[in-house]
Structure 1
Amino acid sequence: MNKREGDGVPRKNTDAVQERDGSANSSSPVIAAFKVFQQELDTKHDKYERLVKLSRDVTIESKRTIFLLHRVTSVTDPEAILKEAEVKLEGVRQKIGQIAEELRGEDIHQFHRAFTPGIQEFVEAVSFLHYIQHRSLISLEEINARLVFMRAEKGSAEDLPPGAQVLTFQVTPSDYLLGVADLTGELMRMCISSVGNGDIDTPFQLSQFLRQIHDGFSFIGNTGPYEVSKKLHTLRQSLGKVEDACYALKVRGSEIPKHMLADVFSSRSALIDPEEGVI
């Protein structure tokens, strides 16, 4: 009982000791160092979240551009669609300029996972537009040449020439390859639309183009990024469907009415074994 009555005194002494240790720790070099680390990690986390948001915006606008481009095969004025797609991609390019601004002076590899989904989708949209216009594959160098931006120096006015600084964003080879791999799926859908509209020339062009892409990926093999080897199976499926459509058009195209070609193509594509590769 007496021991409990005396507990108040040591408790006060303990509080005084803790208060004194706390004031001592606040000036400790170890605590000061950890506060610096905390600030650096918070700054990095905030930048990472901003990059994730920008990447999401790039992904959404790139997908909208791809959906728009699929209308090319079914409209009477495809040039209007292509011009609208170019305007949309310019908006996406400006978003990538904001990503380049965030990465100014930073190690890109520390933040790569934050923005890689959007960059892959952008590569897919740009390469899709380029194929429709030129019937060829856009190169990595051509894409990177478009991602050069003029920005004002930090703390300077927005009038560009005096305090202007050139910012560049470089798409990595892995992001380029992944975007091209996704492009093959869009080209397969374009083939379906073309057949449905009675266009029997585009599927054969797409078949040859997809075969070239497939051969290029085959040279990479297992030496490329892991994600590329995973998408190679989907690429083979898209190529198989397009080649199957070309076979149907070549063998039975003359005897099938044009408005029924898409139905025949869809039914034959459904018979393809998803586990069966392309030789």
Structure 2
Amino acid sequence: MNRREGEGCPRRNADAAQDGDGNSSSPVIAAFKVFQQELDTKHDKHERLVKISRDVTIESKRSIFLLHRVTSVPNADDILKEAEVKLDSVRQKIGQIAEELRGEDIFQFHRAFTPGIQEYVEAVSFLHYIRNRSLISLEEINARLVFMTGEKVELKDLAEAPQTGGQVLTFQVTPSDYLLGVADLTGELMRMCISSVGNGDIDTPFQLSQFLRQIHDGFSYIGNTGPYEVSKKLHTLRQSLGKVEDACYALRVRGSEIPKHMLADVFSSRTTLLDPEEGVV
């Protein structure tokens, strides 16, 4: 009966064990251990950024839902203040993202947090439009994303806060995230238009129609030079604009004939005639 190779040969087994111990000090093995540690660190940071981005998305959506109530209440100031408080807490979470990205290449982790940043841009631009009836700029958004390390203090509060020698951290929203957030804003404006009509407000739809047309024209100028995701959202933007403009046409032609409590039916009756695959020229 043949013995297995190496069985019953203590010297050979000892030599093999010695070779195995020697491999642990090999420069190649040591280098790969360093690579393993770097990859594990990067993976852990990526997972933390995904979780923070998910929290930013949830809180931003809640702010948007809250802002939609401004069309149904007599005094919208309280709602706007409450929404601002919610967005302040969102900004603190973005400060956590800035802390995680300190000393890192932002584009290595961009896919981990871009959904939350786009949702934040959508929420803060929605609040800005309700207050000012204009589009917030990228510079205005980034100006609010300045933080102190170790403290929940924004740059605007530094003059009143005691100086502790903390390091200033900034988070810069990329132009692509800004564009995609503004593209999502158009859907919220279309819903705001529906709510306004349902509450008997026939002036807001015409304001929204003009504003949406300006946004659409701006995206048309970008063309194929912008992020590839813009082309996907541009179709939705055109649909939202088409619904608002079609409803404004019906209100202008037959607005005086339609009772206020039935104005919301203008959207359900008129927009069903739109071809869902047909864009707005």
8 Å CA contact retained: 1:248, 1:265: no
1:156 — aligned with what?
none
Q: Relative to structure 1, is the Cα distance of residues 248 and 43 closer, same or farther in structure 2, using a 3 angstrom cutoff?
A: same
Identity among equivalent positions (%) equals 84
Aligned partner letter, 2:260 = K
Higher helix share: 1
Displacement of 1:161: 2.1
After TM superposition, give the deviation of residue 264 of structure 1 in Å: 2.3
Tell me the residue number matched to 2:241.
Answer: 239
Equivalent of 2:23 in 22, 25, 29: 25
Contact 1:191 1:203 in 2 (8 A): yes
Query: What secondary structure does 1:162 align onto?
Result: coil
Separation in structure 2 between the aligned mates of residue 15 and residue 177 of structure 1, nearest angstrom: 66
1:166 maps to a residue whose letter is: V
Once residues 5 and 36 of structure 1 are traced to their aligned partners in structure 2, the CA distance between those partners, rounded to angstroms, is 37
Q: C-alpha displacement at 1:167, in angstroms?
A: 0.3
- TM-score of the aligned structures, taking structure 1 as reference length: 0.94
Contact 1:194 1:202 in 2 (8 A): yes
CA distance in 2 between partners of 1:97 and 1:6 (Å): 62
Q: 2:69 aligns with which of 68, 71, 81?
A: 71
1:93-242 aligned at under 5 Å gives the runs 93-152=91-150, 161-242=163-244
Equivalenced residue count is: 272
CA distance in 2, matches of 1:147, 1:229: 28
Q: Give the secondary-structure state (helix, strand or coil) at the position aligned to 2:168.
A: strand
Aligned Cα root-mean-square deviation (Å): 1.6
Per-residue CA distance 1:116-140 (angstroms, 9 max, x = gap): 0000000000000000000000000
2:196–2:202 CA contact under 8 A, matched in 1: yes
Q: Is the 8 A contact 1:151 1:160 kept in 2?
A: no
8 Å contact from structure 2 (residues 6, 13) kept in 1 = no
Counterpart AA for 2:62: R
Partner of 1:88: 86
* Distance in 2 separating the partners of 1:215 and 1:5: 79
Per-residue CA deviations over 1:22-56 (Å, capped at 9, x if unaligned) read 21011111111111110011000000000000000
How far apart are 1:13 and its partner, in Å? Answer: 4.6
Between the aligned partners of 2:177 and 2:87, the Cα distance in structure 1 is 17
**What's the secondary structure of 1:253's corresponding residue?**
helix
What 5-or-longer segments of structure 2 have no aligned partner?
A: 152-160
Q: Which amino acid aligns with 1:109?
A: F
1:8 equivalent in structure 2:
7
Q: Structure 1: any 5+ residue segments left out of the alignment?
A: 154-158
Counterpart CA distance in 2 for 1:147 and 1:29 is 44
Q: Is the contact made by 1:150 and 1:160 (CA closer than 8 Å) also made in structure 2?
A: no
Aligned to 1:22, what secondary structure does the other structure show? helix
Q: State the SS of the aligned residue for 2:167.
A: strand
Letter in 2 for 1:8: E
Cα distance in 2, alignment partners of residues 113 and 23 from structure 1: 41
